[in-house]
């Protein structure tokens, strides 16, 4: 809108689209709601038991200041989630108020405010709002679930006149909301709440920077079609992208050397789930919030350089072996027949060539990569994008999380690691090379559950 005429035209369009007062209302909002109503009535007539909605009870988190009687949510976890929704909604309104009643913000800063408001809608209010109708109101209301209550705890339209103070206020409230999201203990929704906490933190950082950094991770809907694993700060791994989750056990020969993988249990999952990283969850392999109680320190200490920059190369007659030792997950496929390092030096013969190829491609961590000098090809197994939980019967221990098929791994600070076909992430919580496994699980006898008896070939 630039003048009175364009403002009146905008109002006319809003009335037509929203209220269907005149014009082509059947394709406007009014017409769509009109069609929904008729469709609903037809379905109810056809099936008297048809009920398209959840059993939501109108209930608030706390009594109203006006003294109006309202039913209250008594389930503490539900109350926390609804509180988070209300706080995010209120911050969104304050952000929009700052945008429309700004003082000396630059055009770039106004863009930041607009993107922050949209980011709150998409990455916080929507996912949290979708959680609430599945949560119980309380024991006093059996079978009833809660709904977003849209409670406001500050005077409507409240904002500060001075730009710096207003932005610091919004930043502070976003950080408090992020902390609230991180403290809510609701295992079925752990992945969603961690994503929400991260989004709130990114928004706070964006406001703090005053428009210097991009906001793509928040202002756009998460792309669940792109598989990735996000490492949360001192918390679980968030797996996104409908990745299958299963177990595989290391099978060893009569001499105790690892020789092949054996398929195990398959876990039912959603398109996004949280895997325990601290090793203390009572619901392994999934996170149950134990990391917060035990004070888990998940500080990432591993190198962020590419594999080729850190790997030592052992050159043989027809094969070259690259070895990045800190990535060793102690799967021991490399130890048989004198060891892959000695065998590499004998690759002018067919049997050692086959053994080197087998041992290197069975290494789950990607510590070992072999290059065929005759064909100029790097040998890699054909692994589908998937998550595998390793079991090690020979060591009577549960091994790392095997991330396969080039899945992106994103650190807590947003750093994206080199995409590799084979990566192992620590799940015992004790690796000195976090987030990657360093074999400590075998030393401490870490068990995710009862390990089956060894099955030698």
Taking only the tens place, the pLDDT of each residue in 135-145 is 999 999 999 99
Task: With respect to residue 227, please indicate whether it lies within any of the assigned structural domains.
Answer: no
Residue 229 inside a domain? The answer is no
Asked which of 219, 253, 275 is the last residue of a domain, the reply is 219
List the structure tokens of 197.
């906490």
Residues 62 and 53 sit within 8 Å (Cβ to Cβ): no
**405 touches 421 (CB < 8 A):** yes
Q: Does some domain include residue 362?
A: yes
The predicted pLDDT at position 24 comes to: 67
Does residue 436 belong to any structural domain of this protein? yes
Where helices occur in 252-349 by DSSP H, the ranges are 290-294, 307-310, 340-344
**How many whole angstroms separate alpha carbon 196 and alpha carbon 181?**
7
- Host domain of residue 129: 59-64+71-219
For 354, phi then psi, to 5°, come to: -65, -40
pLDDT of residue 80: 95
Residues 43 and 156 placed together within one structural domain of the fold: no
* 287 lies in the same domain as 398: yes
The whole-number pLDDT of residue 450 equals: 45
**How confident is the model at residue 158, as a pLDDT?**
53
In a domain, 205, yes or no: yes
Structural domain includes residue 186: yes
Residues 322 and 455 in one domain: yes
- For residues 303 and 441, state if they share a domain: yes
Residues 166 and 37 placed together within one structural domain of the fold: no
**Euclidean distance between the first and final Cα of the chain, in Å?**
76
Q: Is residue 164 part of a domain?
A: yes
Low-confidence residues of the chain, pLDDT below 50?
211-224, 450-457
Q: Both 264 and 161 in a single domain?
A: no
DSSP-assigned letter for residue 416: B
**Could you tell me which residues come within 8 angstroms of residue 22 by beta carbon, excluding any fewer than 6 positions away?**
15, 16
Cβ burial 16-35 (10 Å sphere, 16+ → b, else e): bbeebeeeebeebebeeeee
Judge if 363 and 265 occupy the same domain. yes
- Does any domain span residue 351? yes
CATH number reported for the structural domain that contains residue 109 in this entry: 1.20.1260
Tokens of 92: 């969104």
* Confidence (pLDDT) at 160: 62
- CA dist 127 and 81 (Å) reads 11
What span, in angstroms and rounded, lies between the C-alpha atoms of 368 and 337?
Answer: 16
Do 127 and 180 fall within a single domain? Answer: yes
Q: How many domains are there within the chain?
A: 3
| Shared-domain flag, residues 259 and 174 | no
Per the DSSP assignment, residues forming a β-bridge with 378 are: 371
Q: Are 208 and 283 found together in one domain?
A: no
Q: Is residue 140 located within the same domain as residue 206?
A: yes
Predicted TM-score (pTM) above 0.85: no
Give the contacts of 189 (CB within 8 A, at least 6 positions apart).
Answer: 81, 131
Residue-level pLDDT at 154: 63
Q: How far is Cα 320 from Cα 309, in angstroms, rounded to an integer? A: 15
- Does 438 lie in the same domain as 292? yes
């Amino acid at each position: 809108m630039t003048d009175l005429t364009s403002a009146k035209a905008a109002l006319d369009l809003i009335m037509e689209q929203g209220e269907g007062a005149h014009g082509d209302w059947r394709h406007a909002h009014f017409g769509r709601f009109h069609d929904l109503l008729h469709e609903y009535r037809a379905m109810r007539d056809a099936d008297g038991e048809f009920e398209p909605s959840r059993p939501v009870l109108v209930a608030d988190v706390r009594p109203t200041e006006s003294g109006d009687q309202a039913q209250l949510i008594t389930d503490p976890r539900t109350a926390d989630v609804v509180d988070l929704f209300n706080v995010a909604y209120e911050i969104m309104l304050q952000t929009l108020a700052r945008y429309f009643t700004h003082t000396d913000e630059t055009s770039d800063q106004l863009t930041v405010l607009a993107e922050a408001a949209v980011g709150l809608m998409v990455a916080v209010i929507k996912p949290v709002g979708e959680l609430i109708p599945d949560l119980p109101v309380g024991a006093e209301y059996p079978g009833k679930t809660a709904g977003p209550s849209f409670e406001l705890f500050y005077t409507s339209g409240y904002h500060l006149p001075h730009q710096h103070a207003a932005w610091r206020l919004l930043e502070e409230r976003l950080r408090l909301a992020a902390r609230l999201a991180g403290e809510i203990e609701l295992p079925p929704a752990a992945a969603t709440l961690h994503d929400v906490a991260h989004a709130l933190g990114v928004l706070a950082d964006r406001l703090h920077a005053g428009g210097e950094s991009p906001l793509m991770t928040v202002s756009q809907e998460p792309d669940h079609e792109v598989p990735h694993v996000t490492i949360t700060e001192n918390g679980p791994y968030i797996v996104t992208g409908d990745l299958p989750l299963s177990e595989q056990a290391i099978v060893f020969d009569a001499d105790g050397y690892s020789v092949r993988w054996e398929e195990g249990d398959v876990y039912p999952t959603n398109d996004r789930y949280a895997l325990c990283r601290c090793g203390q969850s009572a619901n392994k392999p999934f996170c149950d919030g134990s990391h917060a109680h035990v004070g888990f320190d998940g500080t990432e200490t591993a190198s962020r350089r590419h594999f080729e920059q850190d790997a030592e190369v052992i050159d043989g007659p027809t094969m070259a072996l690259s070895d990045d030792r800190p990535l060793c997950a102690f799967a021991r496929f490399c130890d048989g027949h004198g060891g892959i390092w000695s065998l590499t030096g004998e690759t002018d013969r067919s049997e050692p060539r086959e053994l080197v190829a087998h041992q290197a491609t069975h290494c789950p961590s990607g510590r070992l990569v072999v290059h065929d000098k005759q064909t100029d090809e790097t040998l890699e197994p054909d692994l589908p994008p998937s998550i595998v939980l390793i079991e090690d019967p020979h060591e009577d221990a549960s091994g790392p999380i095997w991330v396969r098929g080039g899945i992106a791994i994103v650190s807590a600070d947003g750093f994206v690691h080199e995409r590799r076909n084979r990566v192992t992430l620590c799940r015992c919580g004790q690796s000195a090379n976090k987030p990657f496994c360093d074999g400590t699980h075998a030393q401490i006898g870490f068990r995710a559950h009862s390990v089956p008896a060894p099955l030698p070939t």
